[in-house]
Amino acid sequence: MERGRLRDELKKLLGPGRISFAPQDIVTYSSDMYPATQIDKLGKMLPQVSPAAICFPEDAAEVQLLVRFCSQERVPVVPCGAGSGVCGGTLPPEGAVVIDLKRMDRILRFDPKAGIIEVEPGIIGERLEDWLNSKGFTLGHFPSSIACSTVGGYVACRSAGQYSSRYGKIEDMTVGLSVILGDGNQLDLGILGGGNRRDPMLAVILGSEGTLGIVTQVALRVEPLPELVDFSGFAFVDIEDGIACMRRLLRAGLRPTVLRLYDPLDSLIAGMHSTTASGEDVHRAASKLSGLKGLLAGALTDLNEAGIAVALLRPSMLNRIAELLPARCMMIIGVQGDKASVARQWDEVRSIAQACRGEDLGPEPGYHWFKRRYAVSYKQSRIFAAGAFVDTLETATTWDNLVPMYRAVLKAMGKEVFLMAHFSHAYREGCSIYFTFAGYRPTSRAAHSIYKRAWREGIEAVTRYSGTVSHHHGVGVLKRWAMGRECPGGIELFSAFKKIMDPERVMNPGKVYNLD
């Protein structure tokens, strides 16, 4: 449909103030936090494609009106929460209608006895958590982006928070969903549809990233706030020992609130007070490395902006130097419960950590992490400010595959980018590895090219070990090409559901699976 006519029709559907064609909005909604779009911005390139309109519905009926209209007219629809997605999940096709859900942010029902809350999708995670805390409850979902992401975005991407080892991922908390499907019909699932949390269709909508419909209501399981959450730090001689400790904790049936093991470099960058095995401050130890190595190590440990760009031009060398850093691996552990239960858990944790040659560093590093737990992600802006790019590859696999996969990814991506990792989101069978990588090239074209190559090499290494190409960020457009490896045959099932739920294929085209 021609842009002008489309806008006129949309104006008829929604009242004034609920739709925008303003150029600044059009530009803003043309990208999200997908680093490839940030690379474009570094090159001062404006987005190549742009949406026709941004709509701000206030309830499910308005969403339904919009989707029905777009389906009839075959206009692509892109649902948008807070736009914090890092995989391009909200990148609009040319002329699309973006449906921003942030005005649908009401808390609809809270049943403390059943431990269930029902909310609209546009509520920001932090606001929901604060509200629940005021009633003595918690959702237990703490993504680093909690201040700038919505519940709708969480369920659409199968998000995970920092306390997932205890509370699970958002899919484990979701017991009901209402969705406006691509054909405009409403679908109520789980407890919102008279069924229960084991409704198999919940698993189809969770993670669908807006490709089948728009989530307009979410029922979530909540829990009473624990009496006490307590943190501690531990240092391990190497990654192998740290992972053995994580595995043994989980297999012993413990469910720590927080369990994060940082590789030596990530221990530094995360700003932890890391020491070498001999107890020396690692910053000091790093500065003793001679010549160029010392310079680079200094740039890294201090995240010196001028140094970053120079250093990132030679990622292989940088990665080798990082290997020389004499740091140990830090682990942050958190446990919760009443006083007696916390004490019991610490006894068990300490005895397992000790058996894995872990040194108990006491509460300080744990509380240091806790204070800065949301700040670390935002450090990335300094790297972009230096003209470089940064991204994260989050994968997961079984315990046996973890170390080989970690090393394989370091090796594969290390040719193109500088990288480090931490291990978190632990399960009885395995855990997630979160690689942070940074690269630099003087032109955005060259930067794009190494960015793409790094991803390709990384994903190939991950899939060689049967790991998943995404543990919690989703697929978007970034990892779509890898879905054939991640889930052979998945596209067949996706197409079948798509034909039933979104026959005109208007919902968030080109995300997750490429049907064209």
Partner 1 sequence: MNGTVSGTRLRKELGKQLPAHRISVSDSGRYVQVEADSAQDVCYVVSVASREAAPVFPVPCLGRIPPVDGWHIRLSLSRLSAITDFSPDSGLVCVQCGTGMQRLSDWLAEKGFALGVHPEQSCEMELWEFMLSAASNSFGPRFGFKRDQVLSLSAVLPNGRLFRNSVSPARSTGPDFSLPLLHSAGRFGLPLEIYLRIHPLPAQRVFLTFALDDLPAAVERTWEVASAATPELIEIGVNRLAPGGLPQRFVLVELWGEGKALSVRKELVRKLLGDVARPSEVPYEMLLAFEKTYRFVEGQTRHVTLSRDSLKDLVEGLPPGGGPVTLRIRGFVDGLVSVTAGCNDEAECAILPSEESAPSGSRESRRILDAAAGMLDGSGVFMRLPEMWGGRG
Ligand X SMILES: Cc1cc2nc3c(=O)[nH]c(=O)nc-3n(C[C@H](O)[C@H](O)[C@H](O)COP(=O)(O)OP(=O)(O)OC[C@H]3O[C@@H](n4cnc5c(N)ncnc54)[C@H](O)[C@@H]3O)c2cc1C
Residues 338 to 397 in contact with ligand X, rule: CB under 6 A: 377
* Interface with ligand X, residue 118, by CB under 6 A: no
* The binder of ligand X chosen from 255, 425, 441, 472 (CB under 6 A): 472
* Interface with ligand X, residue 414, by CB under 6 A: no
* The binder of partner 1 chosen from 47, 93, 193, 337 (CB under 8 A): 193
* The binder of ligand X chosen from 57, 83, 92, 140 (CB under 6 A): 83
**Which residue type, as a one-letter code, is found at position 32?**
D
429 binds, among ligand X, partner 1, none (CB under 5 to 8 A by kind): partner 1
* Interface with partner 1, residue 486, by CB under 8 A: yes
- Stretch of residues binding ligand X (CB under 6 A), selected from 4-12, 80-88, 404-412, 422-430: 80-88
Q: Which of 377, 389, 409 has its CA nearest to residue 451?
A: 389
Give the span between the Cα atoms of 487 and 475, in whole angstroms. 12
Give the span between the Cα atoms of 394 and 398, in whole angstroms. 14
Instruction: Give the per-residue contact string, 422-461, with partner 1 (x = CB under 8 A; - = no).
Output: ---x-xxxxxx-----------------------------
* Interface with ligand X, residue 96, by CB under 6 A: no
* Interface with ligand X, residue 486, by CB under 6 A: no
Give the span between the Cα atoms of 227 and 90, in whole angstroms. 39
- Strands 418-426 and 430-439: what pairing? antiparallel
* The binder of partner 1 chosen from 159, 216, 275, 380 (CB under 8 A): 159
Rounded to a whole number of angstroms, the minimum distance from the CB of residue 313 to partner 1 is: 33
* The binder of ligand X chosen from 20, 138, 149, 267 (CB under 6 A): 149
Q: 3-state class of 328 per DSSP?
A: coil
* Interface with partner 1, residue 466, by CB under 8 A: yes
Rounded to whole angstroms, what are the CA distances from 292 to 295, 298, 310? 5, 10, 12
Q: Which residues contact 291 (CB under 8 A, 6 or more apart)?
A: none
**DSSP assignment of 22-50, as one string?**
-HHHHHHTT--S-HHHHHHHHTTPPPSS-
Q: Which of 84, 222, 221 has its CA nearest to residue 147?
A: 84
155: part of which helix (H) or strand (E)? helix 151-157
Give the span between the Cα atoms of 308 and 43, in whole angstroms. 18
* The binder of ligand X chosen from 156, 245, 388, 405 (CB under 6 A): 156
Instruction: Give the per-residue contact string, 214-253, with ligand X (x = CB under 6 A; - = no).
Output: xx--------------------------------------
- Strands 97-100 and 77-80: what pairing? parallel
* The binder of ligand X chosen from 6, 52, 55, 101 (CB under 6 A): 101
* The binder of partner 1 chosen from 5, 41, 135, 251 (CB under 8 A): 251
Q: Which of 93, 100, 137 has its CA nearest to residue 115?
A: 137
* The binder of partner 1 chosen from 234, 399, 406, 418 (CB under 8 A): 399
Total residues in contact with partner 1, by rule CB under 8 A:
73
Q: Are 257 and 163 in contact (CB under 8 A)?
A: yes
**Which residue type, as a one-letter code, is found at position 255?**
R
Q: Which of 299, 359, 352, 301 has its CA nearest to residue 329?
A: 359
* Interface with ligand X, residue 508, by CB under 6 A: yes
List residues binding ligand X (CB under 6 A).
32-33, 78-86, 89-90, 101, 121, 143-145, 149-150, 152-154, 156-157, 159-160, 200, 209-210, 214-215, 377, 472-474, 508, 511
